[in-house]
């Protein structure tokens, strides 16, 4: 059983153009609309890998029925709490846009900042989290995966609180987060942290190399994985062994959510009792498969 959490739900519009001319009208008949956000993308790939996964998030506003309808269409199990307020414009689900330009192979993402969640959302979310944690515990090799940034209105304590509770219950915790959310969670010793290289540098204010990764792994008793797009992955495991894993180049249709597909493949492999390095290999496989599709967060 895998519980995924993302506190920034997203509706994703993807448009594919043969070429894009800046400053001009650009038209395309090739486009799609999907439920998204890092946690949803992880959950969708886990489902495609045959894993039982439940996603927790907050939802509010006029687009909530659409979000839930698209999730159901993809066969996703979504648990949610109210994030809006009837008397103010809060908790709306954000829209993000991906522009695929075939002429130069570029993938451009346009991301809306989220609306603040209403007062009381955090309390409702943590109560729902506790309920899901009770259901998750005792069901085999259970995981918590927390991905992405959180919407405005949540405190800096919300993600560390979930990490602490999950560790106390014996879940394997994988964090694909950065900044204060990651720093404040480390004292509870998550099992794996998986920022990309830029996020690692921004968070820890140090350059990523063998010495710094081993130092982080040793200090916080966790494994560290640093992704870097199509470049090789740097990692240090819980026994403080450093290694680099090759990422073979693939034809990219849409790179959006490749990191999320990686996270899903990693977690699925660990649930299947693969060792750490083999699990990274499965993550790479899933990320590479995702790159071949227009829809984000899929492997077939």
Q: Alpha helix (H) ranges present in 237-300?
A: 258-271, 276-290
pTM of the model: 0.95
| Average pLDDT of the segment spanning 93-116 | 95
Give the count of beta carbons closer than 10 Å to the beta carbon of residue 104. Answer: 7
Looking at the structure of the chain, the number of domains it has is: 1
Buried b (16+ CB within 10 A) or exposed e, 149-158: bbbebbeeeb
Residue 15 buriedness (CB in 10 A; 0-12 / 13-18 / 19+): buried
Q: Return all residues near 78 (Cβ < 8 A) that are at least 6 apart.
A: 40, 43, 54, 55, 56, 57, 67, 68, 71
Enclosing domain of residue 255: 2-290
Reading the block at residue 47, the tokens are 């489902």
Q: DSSP state, 234?
A: E
Residue 85 has a pLDDT of: 67
Please, which pLDDT band fits residue 89 given cuts at 50, 70 and 90? low
Mean pLDDT of the chain: 95
- 13 in Cβ contact with 35 (< 8 Å): no
Residue 125 covered by a domain = yes
Please report whether residue 18 resides in a domain.
Answer: yes
Q: Say which CATH number the domain at 44 has.
A: 3.40.1190.20
Cβ distance 118 to 84 under 8 Å? yes
Phi, psi angles (nearest 5°) of residue 242: -100, 140
Whole-number Å distance between alpha carbons of 160 and 204: 17
Structure tokens at 160: 């560390």
Q: What is the rounded distance in angstroms from the CA atom of residue 56 to the CA atom of residue 143?
A: 13
* Domain annotation covers residue 297: no
pLDDT in tens, 43-84: 999 999 999 999 999 999 999 999 999 999 999 999 999 998
pLDDT at 88 over 70: no
In a domain, 29, yes or no: yes
d(CA 115, CA 111): 12
The residues that bridge with 243 in the sheet, in sequence order, are: 235
Q: Is residue 280 part of a domain?
A: yes
12 in Cβ contact with 71 (< 8 Å) = no
Q: pLDDT tens-digit profile of 159-196? A: 999 999 999 999 999 999 999 999 999 999 999 999 99
Assess if residue 295 is contained within a domain: no
Residue 299 in any domain: the answer is: no
| Tokens of residue 206, six digits | 């140090």
CA 4 – CA 18 distance, rounded (Å) = 36
Residue 298 lies in a domain: no
């Amino acid at each position: 059983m895998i519980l995924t959490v993302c506190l920034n739900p997203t509706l994703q519009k993807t448009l594919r153009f043969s070429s894009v001319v800046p400053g001009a009208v650009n038209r395309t008949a090739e486009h799609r609309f999907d439920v998204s956000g890092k946690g949803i993308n992880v959950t969708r790939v886990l489902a495609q890998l045959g894993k039982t996964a439940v996603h927790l998030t907050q939802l509010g506003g006029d687009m909530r029925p659409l979000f839930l309808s698209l999730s159901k269409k993809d066969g996703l199990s979504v648990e949610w709490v109210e994030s809006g307020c009837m008397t103010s414009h809060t908790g709306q689900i954000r829209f993000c846009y991906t522009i695929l330009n075939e002429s130069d192979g570029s993938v451009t993402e346009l991301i809306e900042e989220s609306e603040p969640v209403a007062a009381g959302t955090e309390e409702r979310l943590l109560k729902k989290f506790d309920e899901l944690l009770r259901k998750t515990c005792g069901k085999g090799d259970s995981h918590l995966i927390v991905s992405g940034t959180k919407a405005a209105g949540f405190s800096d304590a919300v993600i560390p609180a979930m990490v602490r509770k999950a560790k106390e219950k014996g879940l394997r915790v994988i964090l694909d987060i950065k900044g204060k959310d990651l720093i404040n969670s480390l004292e509870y010793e998550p099992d794996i942290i998986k920022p990309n290289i830029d996020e690692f540098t921004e968070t820890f204010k140090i350059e990523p190399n063998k010495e710094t990764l081993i130092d982080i792994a040793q200090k916080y008793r966790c494994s560290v994985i640093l992704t870097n797009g199509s470049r090789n992955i740097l990692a240090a495991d819980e026994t403080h062994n450093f290694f680099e894993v090759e990422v073979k180049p693939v034809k990219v249709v849409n790179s959006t959510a490749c990191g999320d597909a990686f996270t899903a493949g990693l977690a699925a492999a660990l649930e299947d009792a693969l060792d750490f390095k083999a699990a990274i290999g499965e993550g790479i496989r899933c990320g590479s498969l995702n790159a071949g599709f227009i829809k984000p967060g899929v492997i077939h």
